[in-house]
Amino acid sequence: MFQLSFLNTGLLIFAAATILPLVIWLLAKRKPKRIVFPSLRFIKLSKDQDKKRTKLKNILLLIIRMLIILLTVLAIARPMLRIPGAKPGKKHPPTAIAIILDTSYSMDYTTGTKSLLDHAKTAILEINRLSTYNDRLILISSDPDWNRLHSQIYAEDIPNDLIRQIQICHQPAPMEDLINLAIRKLADTQMPNREIYLLTDRQNQPYPAKPELPIHLVPLPQPDSYGNLACSDAKPIPQLVQKSRSQMIEFKLSNYGDQERKEVLVKAVVNDIKLAEKFISIPARQTVTESILIELQQDGWQKGYIEVMDDRLSPDNRAYFAFPFYLSPRIAVISESSSLPPALASVISVYKGTGTLTMMHPLSVNSAALDTYNLIIVQQVSSLNQKLSEILQEASTNGKGILYNPGRQISADYKAFLNRSFGINLGDYGTGEKSIDFVNRHHYISTLVAGKDNPYNRISDYHSARATSAANTILSASGDAVMLASDGAVLCLMDLSSLRNRFLLDPAFPVLMIRSLQFLDNGSPELSKLTLGDRITASSITLPDGKRIDLANRSLTLTEPGLYIKHGSSDQTVAVDPDYLEGDYKPLEIKANKYYKFLGSNWKEQIFYSRLGNELWKYLLIATLILIILEIILVKLEEARPVRTDSRE
């Protein structure tokens, strides 16, 4: 079946003028009734015979005049005819087009010398070239923030500079949201012809089953075989026994391709300096855990990444890490006693190595003195006056880690302080024997000892406490919290000076205490490792690109992988890895149907699908001219015909 449409549909209303000649003719035929005298009857009969002969010509003239008006109006409305199988014309009616550009990081996959995103940008520029001043174009990316600024209605074309500046995003919006946004934007154009084009690598993701408008997928180059390497989960291996500048970094390498990758180069970069390289082979469809040895150059924050080289998809090639390292940490112990319990002293001796340990009496502590220490231990303190409470709160605000180990007798003020800080209800000092029956396997402090046999898991001297938040509990015995953790603080309720606590002899105890000190020293990867979508709090932050911004609401949502620096009384670096969901390519499962149409290599001829073939206005004007000439000929012939006289007159 052929298809007919008009570029200027609104002008078709003037086609109603076609009936004007008919109306005039009908009105002209209405004449008053006449009475014929007998003497004139023969003359009238003669004239009626002449009228019958010209009646056909009059009707023909009427039809010609009506056709002249109709064809003139149709020509002005610019009709277009499309016949199946025939090549469509170059013209198209005014059309509103929404272009959905997939900017998820899998679009950065390189084919040849260009990424899929670059190929998609080229296709959008081609659509720009094919559009006219009557068209309206809308560009929608996978980045919601970009869409809020730039997804507006453009007349004729989208600015080329805007297209070239588009980058991949690491938190793409769901495809269903993008399609719904395109439909809403197209409705705002108030144009009858609306089309949606999607440029994507066709990686599988949820799509709406029956969108309001058909989705046309523009083809992009597809690789013969998809191969991708991803580096993830980089973290330092804790030095539990003896500290040195030789630090092992553990990481994972995933091969999402169908072929083994041999001798792949991996490098470690710390503080913008390449410190190590390593060649690794990875079987097809496998993930391997590896480590690389680096020599730390200085104390302080060690921030960097492990990167796998020579890969087609670069956004997931880096795994970031950040941790503070102090070869000689400075530890301040606030205690009413002049010495530490042997169990705690031995752990601190191993942890500090060549560092320093300073004993301070609670009455001699001041803020300036604590500023020079890496972490603080409050041990065997019975009373916490207002001054000491404020000093400890200030130290915690400044990023100092604090370990609390209260003595046998503690004041009501000290109890209230611990209750507020750790979300507990602290009870009396107990001497009944209990067994440790819960070890938090998800917390950094206890993850190494969770699930292990603990032959000496009994405690006898401790402060009973009920935790209001299970997430803070590290150890518990018969419902009583034994060790808890909060932001930058750890509370140990066992009496570390009591020999009745057999748990002090268990191999798990020194591991827990050293991991606690690492946690307080900001040395745990969990403290400096976040994921995309998390929020961090600070007064100002340096972004991965080096730009520093001030936060009005002291909060920022992480949208890009990399290294962030939180600025405050003491700076802290946070490592953020990419989302690895798109690293393993899975093809789109949607089949071609009336809702989703897969365009071919000749997609440039298929877009603007509402165009309806070749224009007919020239042919209509020629036909109109012929009819006008025919009308003139008929009129002149009628005028030139001699008047017939009746012989009986």
- Secondary structure (DSSP) of 24-75: HHHHHH--------GGGHHHHHHHHHHHHHHHHHHHHHHHHHHHHHHHHHHH
Please tell me the CATH superfamily of domain 96-224+585-606, with its number.
von Willebrand factor, type A domain (3.40.50.410)
Report the run of H or E that residue 508 belongs to, with start and end: helix 508-520
The whole-number pLDDT of residue 165 equals 95
The whole-number pLDDT of residue 649 equals 42
- Amino acid at site 52: K
Q: pLDDT (tens digit, 9 = 90+) per residue, 191-248? A: 878 999 999 999 999 999 999 999 999 999 988 788 899 999 999 988 877 788 999 9
Residue in this structure with the two tokens 């209990």, named with its chain if needed: 434
Same fold, 96-224+585-606 and 330-520: yes
The whole-number pLDDT of residue 475 equals 94
User: Across-strand partners of 297?
Assistant: none
CA distances from 643 to 47, 61, 646 (A): 10, 20, 10
Rg for the chain, CA atoms, rounded = 42
CA 630 to chain CA mean position, Å: 68
Report the run of H or E that residue 276 belongs to, with start and end: strand 273-282
Q: Any alpha helices (H) in 142-220, and if so which ranges?
A: 144-150, 160-164, 175-189
The whole-number pLDDT of residue 345 equals 95
Whole-prediction pTM? 0.75
Cα gap 82→560, rounded to integer Å: 49
Ranges of the chain with pLDDT below 70: 1-3, 7, 28-54, 82-91, 469-471, 522-528, 569, 609-615, 641-649
Report the run of H or E that residue 378 belongs to, with start and end: strand 375-379
The whole-number pLDDT of residue 570 equals 74
CA distances from 239 to 321, 437, 488, 526, 574 (A): 16, 28, 20, 16, 21
Cα gap 466→422, rounded to integer Å: 10
Cβ-Cβ contacts under 8 Å for 95 (sequence gap 6 or more):
134, 135, 136, 191, 193, 194, 195, 608, 610
Report domain extents, the chain.
3-87+614-640, 96-224+585-606, 330-520
DSSP state of 108: G
- Secondary structure (DSSP) of 194-213: EEEEEE---B-----SS-SS
Could you give the maximum distance between any two Cα atoms of the chain, in Å? 156
Cα gap 492→486, rounded to integer Å: 12
The whole-number pLDDT of residue 647 equals 44
**CATH value of 330-520 in 3.40.50.880, 2.30.130.10, 3.40.50.1100, 3.40.50.300:** 3.40.50.880
- Cβ atoms of 95 and 610 within 8 Å: the answer is yes
Q: pLDDT (tens digit, 9 = 90+) per residue, 525-540? A: 555 688 898 888 888 9
The whole-number pLDDT of residue 68 equals 87
Burial of 206 (0-12, 13-18, 19+ CB in 10 A): exposed
